[in-house]
Structures are given as structure tokens and as C-alpha cells.
Structure 1
Amino acid sequence: MSTQADASLMVQLLQWHTAAGGMDASMALMAPGFDPDAATVQDRDVFVMLMLGETIGTFVKQGVLDAGLVYDLWAPGLMWNRVGPAALRQRDAFAVPALWENFEALAKGELG
């Protein structure tokens, strides 16, 4: 069950995300012309979304943020579908299996 503290933290995360260009990133990632298979983590919009997703995923994994609130308020699976291919390519290129793992786990419903 989420608490007032969970809601406050989620609002702070969304404010941080917006300040980092997250609204523009979200719009760009959801645009009909966005191609997840051509995107890279060096694309600012992709990176901004990956940072939010990884941060939220980490907080959920560590028990700092309620998963139910996150799933009710945000669409991690949808966002992962847009940026996940770029994240997985970077993970393979760097040979770091843990890279972006918390966002991926959140998107797959494996946390919480």
C-alpha cells in the first residue's frame, strides 16, 4: 500500500524528470516516427527516459517507493518498449549485464 511519502517521492521524481526535459522526451518517444530499433542511448530523449526508469526501478527494488503507485501512475512497460532496445544494445556493447536492469525489471512487472 502506498503512503503519502511514496506519493511525495513520486512527485519529486516527476519534477526532476520534467526539469531534465522529460516531457519533451516523452512526447518524442511516443511520436509515430520514433524508431526504437534505430535509437541509441546517446539520444538525449532516450537517455532521459532511461535515467527516470532506472531511478524509479531502483527505488521500488530497494523498498523506498511503492510499486503499486508507480504502476498506477506511470507506464514503465510502454516506456521500456520505446527505449529498451537501445538500452539492451548498450548493455551488450559494454558487457555489463546490470546496466538498466532495474528499469527492465520494473517494466516486466518483476518488482514490487
Structure 2
Amino acid sequence: MTIQPAKLSDPAVRAFVHAVNSHDREGFMALLAPGATMADDGSDQDLAEWIDREIFSSHGHMEVDNESGGGRVLLARYSNDAWGEMRTKWRFTVDDDGRISRFETGQA
């Protein structure tokens, strides 16, 4: 069963999913802490390049199936124009100021 983004527990993660699904690049970038990092399938990636390729230029979309870790770990069906749909796991590190300093994703 899909969890509606508005019902996600962690405010930063909730805003992240909303920004991805509404293709709001500006809103997405505002959620990230300065110097934020990310990894895909265990390999660190260039954040700006990755989000362009995997989210914004390819119409990325997240359907969240499960959350854990206080809302900072998601199991989601992720789809984009490049890869179609796949089951993915997302793990977020949120700073004290509520901004995301790191996220990691990969196939689940």
C-alpha cells in the first residue's frame, strides 16, 4: 500500500518526495544543506549531475511503500523516463536545522 507523501513522518523527507514528484528543482535544492552529498547503489555521485539525470530531466517520481528509521528510510517504487520503474531504498541524513545533508539510494 502506498503512503501518501503528505503522511510521511519526517518533514524534510516529506518535502523531498513532494519536490521530486512535482518536479520542483528550486524547492528540492532548498531542502539540501550546503555541501550535501549522495550515493547511488553504494557509489558517491556528483549531486547536481545525478539529480538532473535521474530526477529532473527524466521526470522522476516516487511512490513510497514503507518508511522506517523515524521516517528517514523509505522503500519506494521509483520511476523515470530513463529506467522505467524499480523498487528502491532511500536513506536520508537530516541536519539539526532540518536540511538534508546526505541521501543514499539504490535498488531494493
Fold-level match, TM-score > 0.5?
no
TM-score (norm 2): 0.28
**Higher RCO (CA-CA < 8 Å; seq separation 6+):** 1
